[in-house]
């Protein structure tokens, strides 16, 4: 099937149910595509296991945030409908069906991979499959390494049911001792800091889960008792944090909120299929969870932990190693970032080009006596952050350093509080931004004293300042010394740090001020061009699109004849290829070795795409209400000729041409994997195998970097 020829689907285009795809159901569809990579026979086995782990981790977060939110609405009687007209309760019913289907597929994928990995000497074992010597070793390991860490807790009137933390796992045992009347119930919580898998010494890599060991050797825990039954369980809790507008101290608020999250309302209770009936009844009663969100699994609970087995040093079962290139433009200037940027704007395409260049930009700024000021946004920075280290070095060197640290970055709140404290101790001016909005823009601004006066150097990114993620996520880093962009970036920081709303911006657009309106204006121009008989087209690349008004604007453009090609990795509430609604909209999703994360908008501007006269922008924002209305985001125009060609004619076009990792969205909201054909094109392999794109206009002209074209679909 050709992705550019969607299957016809007749609908009532005014019906919300037919006009839009539910956000939550679209997310489940996305996670099915992730899971499909665990089933992808073209991938190395350990990579397939990693995709299974990612799918399980994704589903956990979806449950803790999205399902928890809907359950909260339903319990409070809130009947606000979703974009497609479903109430919270109706969404929960539909989600449960999709969730169960996903969990069943995950277990089937695990069983398939168990067999294939065992053939390669990596065994995810069940204790009963092991020989006597292996069981003896495990028993000794249990005695010396596990037994001292676990604590059995009786459950009776004098020992109330213990608290189980979010993502916590535990075992319930039903015991009998001598002639004592009645059964005794004991709980053993599995410590969160203990590795989930134990590797048995030997020629094969044999892994056993810790819960199997506790069950197998439970008699050491309960000497003199007869074990009548047992059951494994896992708990997921509401993990969202709602910021109170009247919060006077954000740091104190989040420290308290993080503690509350660990004790949030139970959203999902997972049980193993063979759970003792009495233990199951107790768990159902104590966790007080909706019966619809109790899931029994005939397999392994907590598949997210399979990531630990991926660490096995079997390079033959993983993707071939890839070392990102260092941008050649910087090397040509002997590593002097400022000299290279001053000569000409540069675009860096991660992970194909090394994120170290961003770190080096900041380290050079910290050490350069000519640099007087650094301003930096920080949303997610990671555990060991060289970006934080560079800012600390700069402050200690006497430079004026300002860091906008976003405390509301979900699941990174605690880490960001830690970094904020470290920065403040070093003399960095730390700002937490707005109470009601997240600062999600990725901007770094360096002011340098030069012979001609002060010059501003900027970095605008589509991804976080996170070196680890930059090896996994595809993102764009744009370096420029354009004075107008420097002035706009300064106004952006003044807006976040001092609430000084910019009166006039020369180049960029900022949400929630004018980013949405800027995109509307650009789409309207394409509509006018189409109606005037001029070429009209929009290419865009996003992680998600759910905002109803933006979707309706794209529907309007499609109805006016504008040809729209969208690469949307995750959630897409827009329906594509529907006659009378979106017949000129084509949507695909790319799921592959790297996680697509860069965000690009391109507008034909009266010419056929890809054209050097097209208007091209990179952005930190997705087309979601939160990005357009409740976050500080930035939309940056790309006007430098070389950078424009690279972003539009290489990065964007390669994504549109990809066939080997792509799924096409059908009018009914379902996705079909695009047929690879004999001349399949893989955009990830293309960028891994070709020379650096950063600033090499000459390489494009000389075909050192193979040209791409819409017609051929090949490099």
Task: Dump pLDDT digits (tens) for 82-129.
Answer: 999 999 999 999 999 999 999 999 999 999 999 999 999 999 999 999
Cβ-based burial of 493 (10 A; exposed 0-12, middle 13-18, buried ≥19): buried
Instruction: Flag whether pLDDT at 703 surpasses 60.
Output: no
Same structural domain for residues 561 and 680?
yes
Same structural domain for residues 351 and 273?
no
Cis omega (within 30 of 0) for bond into 610: yes
232-270 tens-digit pLDDT = 999 999 876 554 444 444 455 445 555 555 567 888 999
Structure tokens at 156: 């009776």
Same structural domain for residues 537 and 430?
no
Predicted pLDDT at 7: 46
Neighbour-count burial for 550-573, b at 16+ CB within 10 Å, e otherwise: bbebbbebbbbbbbbbbbbbbbbb
Rounded CA separation 207/493 (Å) = 51
Rounded CA separation 569/34 (Å) = 10
**Helical spans, DSSP H, in 386-512:** 386-396, 413-425, 483-498
Higher pLDDT, 534 or 287: 534
Give mean pLDDT, residues 379-396.
86
- The helix/strand/coil state of 256 is helix
Higher pLDDT, 199 or 384: 199
CATH number where 252 lies: 3.30.1840.10
Give mean pLDDT, residues 443-452.
96
For the question of residue 9 being annotated catalytic, the response is no
Rounded CA separation 363/480 (Å) = 17
571-586 tens-digit pLDDT = 999 999 999 999 999 9
Q: For every residue of 593-623, which 3-state class applies, written as one string?
A: CCEECCCEEEECCCCCCCCCCCEEEEECCCE
Rounded CA separation 433/418 (Å) = 16
Beta strand ranges found along 381-529 (DSSP E) = 400-405, 429-431, 438-439, 442-450, 453-461, 473-480, 509-511
Confidence of residue 288 (pLDDT cuts 50, 70, 90): confident
Structure tokens at 209: 């889960």
Predicted pLDDT at 568: 98
Please identify which residue in the block is written with the tokens 């980013």: 515
User: Residues 105, 106, 109, CA angle at the centre, nearest 5°?
Assistant: 85
Backbone Cα Rg of the chain: 27
633-670 tens-digit pLDDT = 999 999 999 999 999 999 999 999 999 999 999 999 99
**Cβ proximity of 600 and 35 under 8 Å:** no
Instruction: Flag whether pLDDT at 711 surpasses 90.
Output: no
User: Residues 160, 217, 188, CA angle at the centre, nearest 5°?
Assistant: 20
Higher pLDDT, 714 or 260: 260
Predicted pLDDT at 244: 44
Q: How many CA atoms lie within 13 A of 570 on its CB side?
A: 20
Q: How many CB atoms lie within 10 A of CB 699?
A: 17
Rounded CA separation 664/29 (Å) = 12
Predicted pLDDT at 328: 86
Contacts of 424 (CB under 8 A, 6+ apart): 430
Structure tokens at 31: 């996670």
Give mean pLDDT, residues 382-391.
84
Same structural domain for residues 283 and 240?
yes
Same structural domain for residues 680 and 643?
yes
Average per-residue pLDDT in the chain? 90
Instruction: Flag whether pLDDT at 11 surpasses 70.
Output: no
Give mean pLDDT, residues 23-52.
97
**Is 390 part of any domain?**
yes
Structure tokens at 98: 């999709």
Structure tokens at 475: 């993102």
Higher pLDDT, 515 or 72: 515
Residues in the chain: 715
Q: How many domains does the chain have?
A: 3
Instruction: Flag whether pLDDT at 697 surpasses 70.
Output: no
**Is 186 part of any domain?**
yes
Q: How many CA atoms lie within 13 A of 477 on its CB side?
A: 27
Same structural domain for residues 599 and 539?
yes
Instruction: Flag whether pLDDT at 68 surpasses 60.
Output: yes
365 DSSP 8-state letter: H
Same structural domain for residues 573 and 680?
yes
Domain end (from 466, 498, 530): 498
**Cβ proximity of 238 and 267 under 8 Å:** yes
Same structural domain for residues 591 and 610?
yes
Instruction: Flag whether pLDDT at 689 surpasses 70.
Output: yes
Rounded CA separation 46/592 (Å) = 14
Contacts of 89 (CB under 8 A, 6+ apart): 74
- DSSP bridge pairs for 587: 566
Predicted pLDDT at 254: 45
Catalytic residue among 305, 440, 466, 586: 440
**Is 651 part of any domain?**
yes
Instruction: Flag whether pLDDT at 207 surpasses 50.
Output: yes
Same structural domain for residues 482 and 517?
no
Instruction: Flag whether pLDDT at 383 surpasses 90.
Output: no
Q: What share of the chain is helix, strand, coil (3-state, %, to 5)?
A: 40, 20, 40
**Helical spans, DSSP H, in 20-87:** 23-38, 45-62, 68-75
**Is 49 part of any domain?**
no
Same structural domain for residues 156 and 305?
yes
Higher pLDDT, 159 or 221: 221
Predicted pLDDT at 246: 43
Same structural domain for residues 255 and 164?
yes
Any idea which of 6-20, 173-187, 451-465, 590-604 has the lowest mean pLDDT? 6-20
**Is 105 part of any domain?**
no
User: Residues 445, 636, 627, CA angle at the centre, nearest 5°?
Assistant: 100
Q: How many CA atoms lie within 13 A of 705 on its CB side?
A: 23
Instruction: Flag whether pLDDT at 617 surpasses 50.
Output: yes
Give mean pLDDT, residues 607-631.
96
Same structural domain for residues 286 and 371?
no
Confidence of residue 715 (pLDDT cuts 50, 70, 90): very low
Q: Highest-confidence range of 69-83, 370-384, 629-643, by mean pLDDT?
A: 629-643
Rounded CA separation 622/631 (Å) = 11
Q: What domain range includes position 645?
A: 509-702
Predicted pLDDT at 676: 73
**Is 28 part of any domain?**
no
**Is 449 part of any domain?**
yes
**Is 61 part of any domain?**
no
**Cβ proximity of 590 and 683 under 8 Å:** yes
Domain end (from 467, 498, 529): 498
CATH number where 366 lies: 3.30.870.10
Domain end (from 498, 518, 550): 498
Instruction: Flag whether pLDDT at 3 surpasses 80.
Output: no
Q: Highest-confidence range of 411-425, 494-508, 677-691, by mean pLDDT?
A: 494-508
């Amino acid at each position: 099937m050709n992705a550019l020829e969607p299957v016809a689907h007749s609908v009532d285009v005014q019906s919300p149910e037919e006009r839009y795809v539910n956000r939550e159901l679209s997310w489940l569809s996305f996670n099915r595509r992730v899971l499909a990579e665990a089933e992808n026979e073209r991938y190395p086995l350990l990579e397939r296991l990693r995709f299974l782990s990612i799918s399980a981790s994704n589903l956990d977060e979806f449950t803790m945030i999205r399902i928890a939110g809907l359950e909260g609405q339903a319990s409070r009687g809130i009947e606000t409908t979703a974009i497609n007209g479903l109430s919270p309760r109706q969404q929960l019913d539909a989600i449960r069906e999709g969730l169960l289907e996903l969990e069943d597929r995950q277990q089937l994928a695990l069983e398939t991979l168990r067999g294939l990995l065992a053939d390669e000497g990596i065994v995810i074992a069940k204790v009963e499959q092991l020989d006597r010597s292996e069981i003896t070793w495990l028993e000794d390991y249990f005695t010396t390494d596990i037994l001292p860490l676990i604590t059995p807790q009786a459950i009776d009137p004098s020992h109330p049911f213990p608290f189980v933390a979010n993502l916590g796992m535990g075992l319930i045992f039903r015991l009998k001792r001598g002639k004592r009347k009645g059964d005794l119930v004991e709980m053993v919580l599995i410590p969160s800091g203990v590795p989930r898998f134990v590797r048995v010494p030997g020629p094969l890599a044999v892994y056993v889960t810790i819960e199997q060991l506790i069950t197998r050797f439970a008699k050491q825990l309960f000497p003199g008792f007869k074990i009548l039954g047992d059951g494994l369980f896992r708990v997921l809790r509401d993990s969202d944090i709602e910021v109170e507008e009247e919060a006077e101290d954000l740091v104190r608020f989040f420290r308290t909120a993080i503690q509350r999250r660990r004790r949030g309302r139970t959203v999902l209770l997972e049980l193993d299929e063979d759970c003792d009936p009495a233990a199951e009844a107790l768990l159902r009663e104590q966790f007080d969870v909706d019966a619809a969100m109790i899931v029994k699994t005939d397999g392994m609970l907590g598949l997210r932990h399979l990531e630990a087995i991926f660490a096995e040093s079997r390079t033959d079962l993983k993707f071939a190693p890839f070392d990102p290139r260092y941008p050649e433009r910087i090397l040509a200037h002997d590593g002097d970032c400022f000299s290279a940027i001053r000569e000409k704007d540069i675009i860096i395409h991660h992970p194909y080009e090394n994120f170290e260049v961003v770190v080096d930009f900041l380290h050079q700024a910290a050490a350069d006596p000519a640099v007087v000021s650094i301003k930096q946004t920080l949303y997610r920075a990671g555990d060991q952050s060289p970006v934080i280290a560079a800012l600390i070095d700069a402050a200690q060197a006497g430079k004026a350093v300002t860091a906008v640290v976003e405390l509301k970055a979900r699941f990174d709140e605690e880490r960001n509080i830690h970094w904020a404290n470290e920065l403040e101790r070093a003399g960095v001016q730390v700002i937490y931004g707005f109470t009601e909005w997240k600062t999600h823009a990725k901007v770094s601004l360096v002011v340098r004293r030069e012979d001609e006066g002060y010059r501003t150097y900027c970095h605008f990114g589509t991804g976080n300042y996170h070196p680890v993620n930059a090896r996994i996520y595809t993102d764009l880093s744009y370096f420029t010394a354009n004075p107008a962009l420097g002035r706009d970036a300064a106004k952006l920081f003044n807006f976040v740090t001092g609430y000084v709303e910019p009166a006039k911006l020369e180049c960029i657009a900022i949400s929630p001020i004018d980013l949405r309106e800027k995109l509307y204006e650009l789409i309207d121009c394409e509509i006018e061009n189409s109606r005037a008989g001029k070429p009209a087209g929009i290419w865009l690349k996003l992680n998600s699109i759910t905002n109803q008004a933006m979707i309706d604007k794209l529907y309007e453009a499609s109805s006016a004849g504008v040809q729209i090609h969208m690469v949307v990795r995750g959630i897409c509430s827009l329906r594509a290829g529907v006659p009378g609604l979106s017949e000129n909209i084509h949507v695909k999703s790319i799921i592959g070795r790297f996680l697509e994360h860069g965000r690009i908008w391109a507008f034909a501007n009266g010419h056929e795409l890809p054209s050097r006269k097209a208007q091209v922008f990179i952005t930190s924002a997705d087309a979601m209400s939160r990005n357009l209305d409740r976050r500080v985001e930035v939309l940056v125009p790309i006007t430098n000729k070389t950078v424009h060609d690279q972003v539009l004619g290489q990065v964007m076009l390669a994504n549109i041409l990809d066939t080997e990792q792509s799924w096409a969205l059908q009018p009914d909201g379902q996705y079909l994997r695009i047929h690879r054909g004999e001349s399949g094109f893989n955009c990830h392999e293309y960028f891994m195998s070709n020379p650096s794109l950063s600033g090499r206009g000459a390489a494009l002209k000389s075909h050192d970097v193979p040209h791409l074209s819409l017609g051929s679909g090949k490099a």
